[in-house]
Structure 1
């Protein structure tokens, strides 16, 4: 990998959580130069890059209402379009769809057909686009054949507000819904969440605490508002994760089924760095997908650095040699062009289809 340059474009928060400084040292020991990209400065003077690893979620979401973020995103897009030999991990359109739960849940809902042999599914759900009277919402829930309790999640799947969720136990409590959002049938899963972290062709399963079981069907219980981060962190200590009854241990997810799920999602998403939240239905033992995440924390994955470096290596192996890459970059700069595989243009309205 000598002579190859990888740019990282991350928020300060993501940079700290990933421990990028340690990864830079790790890469240096393997002959790979890592450059931290500053979006406020021209990218031409910071390049060239063989690969760019990024998580531009903050910028994309803020570009909905902030002209500075719009310009930063446009500058990044222009650079990538002008340098088609630079590989982007991951493509912006692919990543952007996971910022929108409406889009990602549509992908999840297709898994039942494509992975039928593995008994993998996702819970039924309802998209709530805008505010409406309570009776209309109740009718929509009935039409969609959703049963209580329901879990309500914001449409935008990024930022602190995206972790604010609620459990709704009756038709009358649907008044607590604040659109745009998703209503998803809650599946009892023994208070155990399995986070699947994907890095290229490798994946890792990490067990986390999760919501306890609740009786099926409507009840007069008040809506429960909670933050999913506080519930499912490794060190979480919440009343919501304490099972009320003794129940048999659930089997772990099938290794083969998880591998099939990852292969299918990599194909559908066109991404290499993402996470999948799965649970095991306590009644059917079905592997149930409840969320997909962009470039997650990889917390609890000690092999993350080596796996990421190996994936970057595999990407570089598919490229032309560094000398040819430099020539291509120079040519592309003077005459911008975008190949069909490198069309990373993203509209700032992508989240509002």
Structure 2
């Protein structure tokens, strides 16, 4: 690995959360140079790069309505296209689809068929594209077999607004939703969320607090608006996570089932750096997938640095043995317009 250069293209927030300075120091001890990429400057002068690791979520989302972000994305894609031997982690098309909950929930809904033997599923959901659909939402809820309470999430799965969610308890309260969004049946899970962090062929499961149980079926309770960050962070303390009754401990997720889930998602997504939020249904003990996250924070994963460097070494080894064409699929990227249309 000596002499390898790995470029990182991250927002300031992601850079701090990942502690990129510490990772760069860790890599330096293994003969790998970490370079921070400045998108506002020509990439050619900053290269060459053996691998580029990025989280361009801000740029992709903003490119829908901001010409400067469109240009930054175009410059990045031009560099990647002109340097096919540079490995991109992860492919932009795969990342873009996970920014759109409509797309990621379609992927999640298909897991029931491919992972039936592992008793893995995803709750039924309904896409709400615009306010014109509001009068017919109740029909859609019934047709898709959704059950109250419902959890409502924004369509765009990135940015501070994406963490603003609501719990809806009756048909009358469906007027509280703000399209575009998704409605998903809420599954009682004993206020425990299992966050699965994936780094290449390794994964780690970390337990977090989550929403408490609610009575099934419609009721006259008012809509609850909440921020998921305030509920499910390691240090979170919220009334929404406090169980009202004695709740027997649920079994942890089956390690074999989680491994099967990760393998299936890696194959479907073509990605190496992502997270999966799973819960255990208190009634059926079914492993239930409720969200997929791009390049998460990896909080609580002490082996993250070594796992990431190991994955970088692995993809470079495969690339070296397979030849220059090996990076082609990993480096492919949609046009800025195509990226925007997915949101």
* Alpha-carbon offset, residue 132 of structure 1: 2.5
1:295 alignment partner in structure 2? 295
Query: What is the rounded CA distance, in whole Å, between the counterparts of 2:150 and 2:301 in structure 1?
Result: 31
Cα RMSD of the aligned pairs, angstroms, is 1.5
Q: How does 1:138-217 map to 2 (within 5 A)?
A: 138-217=138-217
* Alpha-carbon offset, residue 351 of structure 1: 5.0
2:247 alignment partner in structure 1? 247
* Alpha-carbon offset, residue 198 of structure 1: 0.1
1:220 alignment partner in structure 2? 220
TM-score when scaled to structure 2? 0.96
The alignment partner of 1:320 has SS state of: helix
2:114 alignment partner in structure 1? 114
The alignment partner of 2:75 has SS state of: helix
2:66 alignment partner in structure 1? 66
Q: How does 1:1-353 map to 2 (within 5 A)?
A: 1-132=1-132, 134-320=134-320, 339=328, 342-353=331-342
The alignment partner of 1:110 has SS state of: helix
Query: What is the rounded CA distance, in whole Å, between the counterparts of 2:137 and 2:63 in structure 1?
Result: 31
Contact residue 156 and residue 351 of structure 1 kept, 8 A: no
Q: Residues 253-288 of structure 1, C-alpha deviation per residue, up to 9 Å, x if partnerless? A: 000000000000000000000000000000000000
Q: Residues 300-337 of structure 1, C-alpha deviation per residue, up to 9 Å, x if partnerless? A: 0000000000000001112339xx98xx9xxxxxxxxx
1:331 alignment partner in structure 2? none
* Alpha-carbon offset, residue 197 of structure 1: 0.1
Q: Rate the CA distance shift 1:146–1:105 in 2: closer, same or farther, 3 A.
A: same
Contact residue 63 and residue 340 of structure 2 kept, 8 A: no
Q: Residues 61-114 of structure 1, C-alpha deviation per residue, up to 9 Å, x if partnerless? A: 011111111000000000000111100000000110000000000000000000
Query: What is the rounded CA distance, in whole Å, between the counterparts of 2:94 and 2:133 in structure 1?
Result: 35
Contact residue 275 and residue 292 of structure 2 kept, 8 A: yes
Contact residue 70 and residue 336 of structure 2 kept, 8 A: no
The alignment partner of 1:184 has SS state of: strand
TM-score when scaled to structure 1? 0.94
Contact residue 6 and residue 49 of structure 2 kept, 8 A: yes
Unaligned runs of 5+ in 1: 329-337
* Alpha-carbon offset, residue 349 of structure 1: 4.7
Question: How many pairs are equivalent?
Answer: 340
Query: What is the rounded CA distance, in whole Å, between the counterparts of 1:184 and 1:351 in structure 2?
Result: 24
Contact residue 88 and residue 330 of structure 2 kept, 8 A: no
Query: What is the rounded CA distance, in whole Å, between the counterparts of 2:83 and 2:248 in structure 1?
Result: 55
* Alpha-carbon offset, residue 341 of structure 1: 5.5
Contact residue 208 and residue 233 of structure 1 kept, 8 A: yes
Unaligned runs of 5+ in 2: none
* Alpha-carbon offset, residue 210 of structure 1: 0.1
Q: Residues 28-56 of structure 1, C-alpha deviation per residue, up to 9 Å, x if partnerless? A: 00000111000000000000100000000
Which runs of structure 1 show a deviation greater than 3 angstroms over 4 or more consecutive aligned residues? 338-342, 346-353
Query: What is the rounded CA distance, in whole Å, between the counterparts of 2:216 and 2:340 in structure 1?
Result: 33
Contact residue 100 and residue 351 of structure 1 kept, 8 A: no
Query: What is the rounded CA distance, in whole Å, between the counterparts of 2:306 and 2:334 in structure 1?
Result: 30
Query: What is the rounded CA distance, in whole Å, between the counterparts of 1:202 and 1:44 in structure 2?
Result: 32
More displaced stretch, 205-214 vs 138-147: 138-147
Q: Residues 159-218 of structure 1, C-alpha deviation per residue, up to 9 Å, x if partnerless? A: 000000000000000000100000000000000000000000000000000000000000
